[in-house]
A and B are shown apart, each in its own frame.
Chain A
Amino acid sequence: MRYFVSVAGEELEVELGDEATTVEGGIVEADLARVEGTDVHHLLLDGVSHRVVATREGKGAWVLHVGGRRYSVGVEDERTRTIRRMAGVGQGSGGPRPVRAPMPGLVVKVEVVEGDVVEEGRGVVIVEAMKMENELRAETAGKVRRVLVAPGDAVEKDQILVELDPLDGEDPTDG
């Protein structure tokens, strides 16, 4: 069976075949063992030692700790992918571009009002977390459609703070 693994913006192909296991087309020898009662795994990949702490987040969704970093990893087998694609899930959509809170925190200041035209990189909202102020900037130029928070509001990670409409002449879809 072929699997598609998405991690850090990349997609890799792994095949667990009857004859051989391949990663990105290259045949490998692998031995994965788990320390019982823990999330600690150890992979010998062609004899090279790798410690991996892995937790399952849901079907085909894992968080792997490798080389001092955590990675969110998606795994999908070929059949599931085909079915999903036929169902037409995953279409890009147009509409407003949100500015989201990258972490939970407290809104200190909103630097735009509805109708403002902002350039890319312009500060939009200041959020305080852990006693430090973080200025959130517009990732693309746009016109402020809605401001959804006010100073003093507590916000959650990924909460939409401000919505921007793309400027005329720009393709609003991201593909």
Chain B
Amino acid sequence: MLSSVLVANRGEIAVRIIRGARELGVRTVAVYSEPDRLAPHVMEADEAYCIGPAASSESYLRGDRIIQVARDVGAEAIHPGYGFLAERASFAREVEEAGLIWIGPRSGTIASMGDKTEARQRMKAAGVPIVPGLVEPVVGVEAALEAAVGIGYPVLLKAAAGGGGKGMRAVNGPDELPRAFEAAQREALGAFGDDAVYLERYLDRPRHIEIQILGDTHGNVVHLGERECSIQRRHQKLVEESPSPVITPELRHAMGTAAVRAAQAVDYVGAGTVEFLFQDGDFFFLEMNTRLQVEHPVTELVTGLDLVAWQLRVASGEALSFEQEDVALSGHAIECRITSEDPFHGFLPSTGVVDHLDLPAGPGVRWDGGIHAGFPVSLHYDPLLGKLITHGKDRGEAIRRMARALDELVVGGVETSAAFHRGVMDEEDFRGGNLSIRYVEEHPELLDGAPSREELRVIALTATLLERLRASSPQATRMGTGDGRTGLSSWQRAVHPWSRR
């Protein structure tokens, strides 16, 4: 086993990796930007080193500084998490060349999968079904217009270098294409430093279903079942679950086998994800993410495997200790991404200091978080505050458990997406497993956010009592319409003359 690992990330994923490493007795080294001095990952790691100011481009994206820290402090390996440098093949190669262990697939694998058009070519060659469309980037609006005719509208513009919805635009007709093309290029350039985009057919109501795979350095690759991540907004996943309510054992076998074939085609090592779009019983390769996914915990809960621990074992040269037929899915798990966004105002980012944090607990509940009370949420980084995950014996129990856990969660000081998730847990199509990636737009009522009559009454009464209390006796900690039954003491009644006698 490795002796030490530097975690080149922040937030909940850095905390998750540090936890996994510490459980294996691996020394953990955090890096942080100046405003993250008191971030949870800094506190949880054995050691922490500052690598620059707030802007990611000057800190978490500074591969040179990160490698320097690893050398200076004798860290044996670098774990990139997701985002930031995780899918930059050039960084992985620099890590390899520095004589450090890269926790992830080889740089060559990342490069071939990071370029989405090359990935499509490779998958096609490996016999994995792909979404109809181009397998080369398109140069210029004219060429894009021409290609779109061949594919047939609506089409989807995508960044060749990208993922996560950045640089992605759906286009319904030729009149929309020039503007969308320009925006996609600009976003792709900003997010990935590369403005290459390509076109593929836009499927109307697919589900997003992905297969977790795990490979070792001895040539073994297994799949760990699927995750359904259909509930998305602007291609950002909001809710994920495993297993998918529509995947039969036969389909799981077919998709799992295709995913393993995809992984073997690029000599995959470590944890990875093969994403598919699924519609009318057919599945199409979307992309391969050569890293740990945000939603990995749902797979961990249903398979009982610790993916971070396996990443570290594989990076240490260990062979997988189990085979495909040993992988069994138990129960059902759901994850809600709790972000600092206001779901009732177009998911606008919210900033501020988390001034209060109550975390859910109890049976079948897991919180993978990257915040604590007193922590500032800024616009410099991803809005993901933490992930709430529940596990139940079946889907119904997992949903009811999630609803209960969301009721317990309080994040004060910033707006969060929690109330949106709470609405989803009660929504009929979700409960019935009737999902597609259009789920959010097909359920505008979930974005309405009008409080119930009862909530309004609670708010009105609480605010009035607080205002009155403040005016009359600021030190008091209790007030109400006291009588014998509510048990208020006599002084409280004396202080508050409106109390019923």
The answer to whether residues A12 and B183 also contact, given A68-B406, A68-B407 and a CB cut-off of 8 A, is no
**Complex: A69 Cα to B470 Cα, angstroms:** 23
A103: interface (CB < 8 Å): yes
Please, which residue of chain A has its CB at the minimum distance from the CB of B483? A29
Which residues does chain B contribute within 8 Å of A35, judged by CB atoms? Answer: 477
- B343's nearest neighbour on chain A, judged by CB, is A69
Q: Name the one of A1, A77, A130 contacting B383, with C-beta atoms under 8 angstroms.
A: A130
Chain B residues, Cβ within 8 Å of A109:
186
Which residues of chain B (440-487) have a CB below 8 Å from chain A?
Answer: 449-452, 455-470, 477-483, 485-487
Q: Which of B455, B465, B470 is close to A67, meaning CB atoms less than 8 Å apart?
A: B455
Q: Contact at B409–A68, with CB atoms within 8 Å? A: yes
Given A12-B457, A103-B350, A104-B351, are A32 and B466 also a contact pair (CB < 8 Å)? yes
What A residues does B470 contact at CB under 8 A? 56
Closest to A19 in B: B500
The answer on a CB contact under 8 Å between B481 and A28 is yes
Whether, in the assembled complex, B253 has its beta carbon less than 8 Å from a beta carbon of chain A, the answer is no
Interface residues on chain A, size class: 35 or more
Q: Are A108 and B461 in contact (CB-based, < 8 A)?
A: no
Q: How far is the CA of A126 from the CA of B39 in the complex (A)?
A: 31
Interface residues of chain B: helix, strand, loop or mixed (majority):
mixed
Q: Which of A56, A65, A131 contacts B412, CB < 8 Å? A: A65
Count class of interface residues, chain B = 35 or more
Q: Flag whether B71 is at the interface (Cβ < 8 A).
A: no
> Within 8 Å of chain B (Cβ to Cβ): is A113?
no
The closest CB in chain A to the CB of B407 belongs to A68
**Structural contact, B488 and A60, CB atoms closer than 8 A:** no
Whether the Cβ atoms of A21 and B458 lie closer than 8 Å is no
Residues of B close to A41: CB separation below 8 A: 462, 466
The interface-forming segment of A42-50, A138-146, A162-170 is A42-50
State A105–B415 Cα separation when bound (angstroms).
17
Name the residue of chain B whose CB is nearest to the CB of A24. B457
| A38 contact set on B, CB distance < 8 A | 356
A92 within 8 A of B: no
Within 8 A of B (CB), among A84-125: 102-105, 108-109
Instruction: Tell me how far the C-beta of A116 lies from the nearest C-beta in chain B, rounded to whole angstroms.
Output: 16
CB contact list, A43-71 vs B, under 8 A = 43-45, 50-56, 60, 62, 64-71
Contact between chains at A12 and B419 (CB < 8 Å): no
The smallest C-beta distance from B250 to any residue of chain A, in angstroms, reads 38
Given A30-B481, A32-B480, A133-B187: A71 in contact with B459 (beta carbons within 8 A): yes
Decide yes or no whether A83 CB sits under 8 A from chain B: no
Q: Is A30 a contact of B480 with CB atoms below 8 Å?
A: yes
Residue contact B498 to A7, C-beta cutoff 8 Å: no
- Does the CB pair B481–A18 fall under 8 Å? no
Inter-chain CA distance A20–B497, complex, in Å, is 10
Verify B488–A31 contact, CB threshold 8 A: yes
CB distance from B35 to the nearest CB of A (A): 15
B252 at the interface (CB under 8 A from A): no
A20 touches B459 (CB 8 A): no
Residues of B within 8 A of A62 (CB): 463, 466-467
Question: In the complex where A45-B461, A130-B383 touch, is A65 in contact with B191 (Cβ < 8 A)?
Answer: no
B412 in contact with A75 (CB, 8 Å): no
B328 at the interface (CB under 8 A from A): no
Verify B481–A21 contact, CB threshold 8 A: yes
Find out whether the CB atom of B481 lies under 8 angstroms from the CB atom of A102: no
CA distance A148 to B467 in the complex (A): 40
Contacts A16-B464, A130-B382 given; does A23 touch B412 at CB 8 Å: no
Is B422 an interface residue when CB atoms closer than 8 A count as contact?
yes
Q: B348 contacts the other chain (Cβ, under 8 Å)?
A: yes
**Bound-state Cα–Cα, A115 to B14, Å:** 50
Contact of A43 among B356, B458, B487 (CB under 8 A): B458
Output the nearest chain A residue to B469 by Cβ-Cβ distance.
A32
> Mind listing 6 A-B residue pairs with CB under 8 Å?
A7-B456, A23-B460, A44-B480, A53-B356, A69-B419, A130-B383
